[in-house]
Each structure stands twice: as structure tokens, then as C-alpha cells.
Amino acid sequence: MRRSLRTVLAPAVTSLLLATTVVTGSAAPAAAETPDCPWVDSDAPVEQRVQQLLSRMTLDEKLDMVHGAAAPLQFVGPTYAGAISEIPRLCIPQLGLTDGPAGVGNGHTGVTQLPSPMALAASWDDDLATRYGATIGKESRGKGADVALAPTVDLLRDPRAGRSFETLGEDPHLTGELASAQVRGIQGEGVLAQAKHIAAYNQETLRNLPANDAKVDQRTLQEVYLSPVQDVVDAGVASVMCSYNRLNGVHACNNSYLLNQVLKGQFGFEGFVTSDWFATQASHAAANAGMDLQMPGGCHYGPRLRKGINSGAVTTATLDGMVSRILRPMFQFGLFERDGGGSPDDVVTNPDHAELARQVAQQGMTLLKNDDELLPLGEGTGSVAVIGDAAGKDVIGSGGGSPHVIAPRIVTPFEGIADRAEQAGADVAFDDGGNAAKVAADADVAVVAVSKWSTESKDNDDIALSDQDTKLIERTAESNPNTIVVLNTAGPVEMPWIDDVAGVLAAWYPGQEYGTALASVLFGDSEPGGRLPATFPVSQADMPTADHERFPGGSYDEGLGVGYRWYDREGIEPQFPFGFGLSYTTFAYSDVQVRGDGAAGTTVSAEVTNTGDRAGSEVAQLYVTHPESDREPPKRLEGFQRVALEPGESRRVEFELDDRSLAHWDTDGEQWVRSAGDYPVAVGGSSRDLPLESEVSVAETTPVSEPTPPPPPHAPEGDDPALTKAGNVLRCPAESLYSAVLGGISLFGLPPGKQAEETPDNPTADG
Ligand code: BGC
């Protein structure tokens, strides 16, 4: 199937791409100290340097700063995803942008294939997320790039979404926290982070076409989809990417409410907004709506924007504002003084980064079922059968599309288990599925690896495993009661076989160190550290977006009922709830305490004790319930903390509330408000296991944000009138063609890129 798609698509894609110029990705030449460029190596405040440089720029130079240099080959690479050209006359270096959220993509080799963001989210670990971001930052910089197109802050609204693996799960708070930690990590390495994609970009079907219109009420938009964006803005993110979809009828990259009023006004974002690739669909209206940088080409923001400036449709002040927003972080991050450094040919992966990949994979692995404490495998395990091509040649380390990263080599589940079993003196057998029943019957324990592919550019039809994988699990389980299923999937899948197997471990897309991490968890060298960042429903029919009108239809009328908030509100029992994950030890919660009146700084704390006989970590979670008049879902996650405990050890975890923790969006006043009333708070180990309860009382209703500012002048809401005219297509034919092709591709997808430089394989007969 995949091979035939490649055959069908290859000629079309190649001919399109041949019409483009490749961004070479060479590092910028050193912006040497020169008397002509007093803003370089200057101690003057950034703002002064920006103004100094701006005053010397011609109109052409300003226009060159607000669009990409060429249409690149980012899916076939290796190349940068895009670049702004250098302007040597003014000592402005090239600005190279590279994907993405799971490590350096765009076809580069010599990089570390990190576990997917979903796997990172399952770790519920800020510190790990900062180190994950730092690894992306280091490797992007090592390749000579200046901007990392990461993190992804889109929520998992429907697990069928092609990019589900790239999200940090279904909850705005968890996403906001982990994305902010990544921003700090990336930017700490001197690389600009670009959070993407705003807003309400939750599907691939018909992307970038007018029909892909997310109809979201303002309250849901603010509380759910934009909340993580506000968090990364607060964390100082340098840039933000606007998305392919329309938002309430207006294209996101052309949406003045979203970009001018909310992002730049309400959130106070000072960096630049970049269009997603080929998502610029207007010239004057986009500039006036607050989009600063067109990527990857320049028809809209080149000749057409010049006309707008000349005719007065776009003011010079607007263009100056756009250029300044790009120059400002370039100064702040020292890009004018950087001496080139990395190059696309450099090998940037190293053992430390591989070790980080292993830690994230291991800590994200989420144990969902473990009958009779079958795991961890002990000394009594004499033999293990490893079953399924997903444990060998069909292993998935990384999902598809722009977040795809090529590993030097993936440690397959079979390799990892075989290595570890040898140390334990256990025998290991492999079967690709043909003889599973026999091979499983002969072993003490059977580990069945199954997978499901997910990629940018195409949504999946369902959340079911293939018939082949389902039968493989059933056949194995019939012949061995000690069957453990390892899920190598983007996110939630249905498990009609759940009662027949002894164990289930969600491994997600775990990156290049998969097998090592898996073996270490199975044999108990480390614990399964993960907790679910997304609800696993019993059936797809239970999902909030099961209705076609909602997905991919674009109606967001489930409102605030996203993820567990839906299951709670509708009283639906999930297969496994949000926040859930088993440990090899047990924990108890006691002594909840609340200090404060609900304002920022209020704390909720509780004692967590490891009541088992192994060391282990728990993710303590705080959920808040609003007074009924707020019309919120039954509970919202407002705090979490990972805590490592020795057997018998207790520790107090403390959650500090911020301004928005108890607030809701008041649509009439267009601001966040904390209502007077009692807010039950609950603490525990998952959204459905909350043994401790208390209450925060708020005495007075208080607005906790300024209202969204009104639209600025020169920012008419709506698309460029010319957009609808054939003339617009004729003026920017390449952009228009690409833009339409993206929608077409979403109907059948793109072939998957290679997983690793060294192709993964099944073990040979002699092991
Ligand atoms: C994706 C972005 C990505 C860009 C550049 C687009 O197709 O939506 O997430 O950063 O390509 O590769």
C-alpha cells in the first residue's frame, strides 16, 4: 500500500518541487565588525539597534526581510524548511528555520530521533521537557539553523488527527506547561523557538482549503485552544506559526482577531508571526491582520506587498513593525554576532542526546494493565517470545511529515529485549506473526508489538489496530496467558482484546532508543514512568468528536468538552482515563491543605507516600471544579508534580495556582474572570482516582485579565477581497498551486520517509 502510493505520488511531487529553488542551508557568513553596521557588536539597547538598522533599510530590503528566500524541499531534504536571505550590505545574516518538534527533521541525518512529543507528554515532567527542548536547540544550532519550528501547542482533539503524535496530549494545562519548558530549553541554546500552529488546527483533512474552517466559540477558543499559546508567550517564545485552517470563516494567517487582538494585544506577544508553509493566502489583508513573515516563498509579501505599500493599503508603519518584530529577537539572540558555527553536514547527535532520548522513551512508557504483577519480569522468566514485525523491520520511531526525524539507527524491541534477556540468562525467540501461536506457547512470556502509522498530511480513518495486528494479539493470547501487548502508536487505540491479555504498555512513537528503554522497563531496571496525556476510549463512538460534523466537519460545538472533560461531562466510562498509568510500586495520598483565597499564589498541597517495596515515581495531579454558575466541565487539571520516592518515603507536593487556575472566559466582557464561590479541589494519581478533596473559597468576583483590545486601525477583519478573484491566483501562481496541492494531498497522504539511516530489520534465523 505505502509503496504504491509512493509510485503514484512521486512524479507529481517531484515535478512540483523541481519548480522550486533549494535553500542551501549554508550558515550565514560572519557579520564582522564593520563601521557600516554600528548595530553589530553594539552595547546599545536592542530597540535602539532595531531602529538604527531599520532607518537604513530600503523598501526592497524590508520586503526581503518579511518573506522566505525560496520554496524548499522540506519533506525530501536535507535542507532547511525555509530561510530569510542574508543582506550583506547591512550585515544582516541569513535566518534559517528548521523542523521540528521531535528533533531536527527536513531529511537531515546525523541527528537524534527523539521520542514523539506525545511520549514526552506522558512523562509529565517539566525538567525532562526542558532537556528535550535543549536537545532540539543544540542540534538545530549544530546544523547552522537559527529557528526551531517547535514546540507544537495544538491539542489532541481527536486521536484520528494525522499529527496526533506531535501534540502534547488533550489538556491545555499539561500542554502549556510542557511546551513552555521546551521553549526555555530551545531558547537557552541560543535558538529561537517557533510555537505552532495557531489556532484550532486539529485535522489534516482538506487542509489549507477554504472548507477547512474551525467554527469555535470564543470561550472555547480562549480556554482550551489558546491557553497553551498564552503560556508559551509568557515563557518568552520568539515566534509563533499561524495555521492552515480558517478560524470562524477567516483564514488563521489572515485573522486580525487572532493575531492582532489576541496574540499581540491580549497576550502581549512581541515576537513575529510566520505563516505555515504555503498558508499565506492574501497580501495586504494578511499584513494588516498581523502576519509578519511569509514562508517559504515571497510572492504575497514581495511584489504584491510593495503594491500595497505604494497604494497605501498597507502603511509603512505596519511594514516597519513586521520587520522590527523579526529583527528584535535576531538581536536578542545575538545572531548578528554569531560566527556561523554549525553546518547542515555536521553530525550533531551524540551519546548524551541518545541517553536523553532513552530517558524520555522510558519515562513516557505507560503501563495500562499488569495482571498478577507479571511485570517486571523476574528471575523466574526463562524464555520470552517477541512477536510481530513492529518489533523488528516495521518499528516506528518517528511519525510522518515535517515532524519526521531520521535516526542513525533504531534499537528495535527485539534487539533491546534480546540484549537484556541475555544478561538475565533468559532465552528469546522471534516470530514475525506467521507462527505466533507456536512460538508464544513455547515461551514463559510473550511480548507482542503492534503499531499504527500516523502522519502529517493525512488523518486516519479510525483508532483501531489493523485486523492483522488484532488477530496477532488474539492468537498469541490464546496460546500464552502471559501475553503483554506493546503499543507503538501515535496515541489512543481501541482494545477489544483487553480482557484476553495480561499486560498492556503504551510506548507511543519512542524514538531511536525504543528497544533499550522497553527492555529496561519490562525487566524492571527502570519503572514505566508514564501517565496518559490522553483518554483511551472504549470505542471511537465515545469520543467527543465522533460525529462527522465535528471531525473533520469543523464544528467545535463540543465546546469545552475536550478530552477527559467530555468523558466526565457526559458520564462516559473510558477504557483508561486521562492521567492514568500503573507503577511497579503503590502510592497513598494524605493530608491535603489549602492556603489562600483563590488568587494567584494560593497553594494546594498533599502528602504522597510510596507504600510499596520498590522505588518509584508518582505524578500527583490537582483538579479543580468550578461553581455551577461558571458552566465549566466537571473538572480541569490545574497542577501536576512528578515525585520520586524510595519505599516507605513520603513527600509533600505543592501546587501553586496562577491567575487563570480558577478563572473562566467571560465572553461578554472578553476577559478572564474568577467568580465568587466555592471551588472543590481534588488530588490524586489520575483524573478518575482522586482520593483527597478540599475546597478553595473565593470571596469576590474578580476580572483577572484586561479585556481583549479592539482591532487596530488598518486591520479590516476578513480575507483579501482579491483572494477570491482569479487574478490573485494568476499573480501568485506557485503559491496558489502549492496551497491547493496541500489540500489535495490530505485526501491520500504522502509516503512515509525512512525511519533510520540503517534500515531496521527482523532478526535473522541465527539471531
Ligand atoms: C507544517 C509545519 C512545518 C512546515 C515546514 C508544514 O507543512 O505544517 O509544521 O513547520 O511545514 O516544514
Looking up residue 628, the CATH number of its domain turns out to be 2.60.40.10
Ligand 1 closest atom vs CA 403? 9
The band of 11, judged by pLDDT with boundaries at 50, 70 and 90, is very low
> Span 722-730, mean pLDDT?
51
Specify the residue with its C-alpha closest to ligand 1, atom 3.
402
* pLDDT value of residue 740: 83
* pLDDT value of residue 478: 97
**One domain, residues 254 and 380:** no
Q: For residue 190, with 0-12 CB atoms within 10 Å meaning exposed, 13-18 middle and 19 or more buried, which class applies?
A: middle
The band of 661, judged by pLDDT with boundaries at 50, 70 and 90, is very high
**One domain, residues 699 and 724:** no
> Span 227-249, mean pLDDT?
97
Res 685 pLDDT > 80? yes
d(CA 210, CA 26): 36
Q: What residues line ligand 1, using a CB cutoff of 6 Å?
A: 74, 81, 99-100, 149, 196, 276-277, 402
Distance 280 CA to ligand 1 centre (A): 13
Mutating to test ligand 1, I would choose from 17, 73, 76, 149 the residue with most ligand atoms within 8 A of its C-beta, which is 149
Res 727 pLDDT > 60? no
The answer to whether residue 708 is domain-embedded is no
Specify the residue with its C-alpha closest to ligand 1, atom 8.
276
Evaluate whether 647 touches 609 at the Cβ level (below 8 Å). Answer: no
> Span 354-367, mean pLDDT?
98
Distance 274 CA to ligand 1 centre (A): 11
Ligand 1 closest atom vs CA 105? 12
Distance 142 CA to ligand 1 centre (A): 20
> Span 581-586, mean pLDDT?
98
The answer to whether residue 764 is domain-embedded is no
Q: How far is CA 600 from CA 656, 659, 674, 698, 762, in A?
A: 8, 5, 11, 12, 55
Question: What letter represents residue 104's amino acid?
Answer: V
Higher pLDDT, 340 or 351: 351
Ligand 1 closest atom vs CA 100? 10
Ligand 1 closest atom vs CA 457? 7
Distance 113 CA to ligand 1 centre (A): 18
* pLDDT value of residue 498: 98
CA angle 635/569/573 to nearest 5° reads: 100
CATH number at residue 97: 3.20.20.300
Ligand 1 closest atom vs CA 106? 12
Ligand 1 closest atom vs CA 742? 7
d(CA 566, CA 532): 16
CATH number at residue 454: 3.40.50.1700
Specify the residue with its C-alpha closest to ligand 1, atom 11.
277
**One domain, residues 636 and 734:** no
The band of 281, judged by pLDDT with boundaries at 50, 70 and 90, is confident
The answer to whether residue 572 is domain-embedded is no
Distance 298 CA to ligand 1 centre (A): 16
Report the number of secondary-structure helices (H) and strands (E) in the chain.
Answer: 20, 25
**One domain, residues 398 and 512:** yes
Distance 710 CA to ligand 1 centre (A): 31
> Using one digit for the tens of pLDDT, what is the confidence trace for 66-96?
999 875 555 556 679 999 999 999 999 999 9
> Using one digit for the tens of pLDDT, what is the confidence trace for 592-651?
999 999 999 999 999 999 999 999 999 999 999 999 999 999 999 999 999 999 999 999
* pLDDT value of residue 218: 98
Distance 24 CA to ligand 1 centre (A): 18
* Nearest Cα to Cα of residue 743 among 234, 265, 329, 213: 213
Res 15 pLDDT > 50? no
Distance 243 CA to ligand 1 centre (A): 9
Mutating to test ligand 1, I would choose from 402, 405, 742, 750 the residue with most ligand atoms within 8 A of its C-beta, which is 402
Specify the residue with its C-alpha closest to ligand 1, atom 9.
402
Q: Is 276 one of the catalytic residues? A: yes
- Domain count for the chain, please give it: 3
* pLDDT value of residue 696: 98
The answer to whether residue 138 is domain-embedded is yes
Specify the residue with its C-alpha closest to ligand 1, atom 5.
81
**One domain, residues 546 and 649:** no
The band of 725, judged by pLDDT with boundaries at 50, 70 and 90, is very low
The answer to whether residue 273 is domain-embedded is yes
d(CA 9, CA 30): 41
Higher pLDDT, 498 or 208: 498
The answer to whether residue 24 is domain-embedded is no
Mutating to test ligand 1, I would choose from 244, 456, 458, 739 the residue with most ligand atoms within 8 A of its C-beta, which is 456
Of the residues 64, 99, 154, 276, which is catalytic?
276
The answer to whether residue 26 is domain-embedded is no
Specify the residue with its C-alpha closest to ligand 1, atom 4.
277
The answer to whether residue 562 is domain-embedded is no
d(CA 142, CA 341): 7
**One domain, residues 362 and 332:** no
Count CA atoms within 13 Å of residue 187 on its CB side. 22
Distance 405 CA to ligand 1 centre (A): 13
Question: What letter represents residue 725's amino acid?
Answer: K
Distance 310 CA to ligand 1 centre (A): 32
* pLDDT value of residue 381: 94
Specify the residue with its C-alpha closest to ligand 1, atom 6.
277
**One domain, residues 264 and 408:** no
**One domain, residues 626 and 483:** no
> Span 672-701, mean pLDDT?
98
* pLDDT value of residue 191: 98
* pLDDT value of residue 12: 35
* pLDDT value of residue 379: 84
Res 163 pLDDT > 60? yes
* Nearest Cα to Cα of residue 462 among 506, 494, 485, 486: 494
**One domain, residues 652 and 729:** no
Ligand 1 closest atom vs CA 74? 12
> Using one digit for the tens of pLDDT, what is the confidence trace for 199-225?
999 999 999 888 999 999 999 999 999
* Nearest Cα to Cα of residue 140 among 355, 346, 402, 296: 346
Look over the chain and give the mean of its residue pLDDT values, rounded to a whole number. 92
d(CA 132, CA 121): 11
Domain end point (choices 675, 703, 731): 703
Of all residues in the chain, what percent carry a pLDDT higher than 90?
84
Res 559 pLDDT > 80? yes
Residue showing cell 518489533? 391
Point out the least confidently predicted range of 1-5, 589-593, 597-601, 681-685: 1-5
The band of 715, judged by pLDDT with boundaries at 50, 70 and 90, is low
Tell me the residue range of the domain where 61 lies: 2-12+52-75+83-337+720-747
**One domain, residues 519 and 661:** no
**One domain, residues 382 and 419:** yes
Res 35 pLDDT > 90? no
**One domain, residues 544 and 616:** no
* Nearest Cα to Cα of residue 223 among 665, 557, 701: 665
* pLDDT value of residue 72: 55
* pLDDT value of residue 713: 75
Q: Which residues are bridge partners to 650 per DSSP? A: 609
Ligand 1 closest atom vs CA 196? 9
* pLDDT value of residue 735: 81
Helix 172-187 / helix 126-142 crossing angle, nearest 10 deg: 40
Res 754 pLDDT > 80? yes
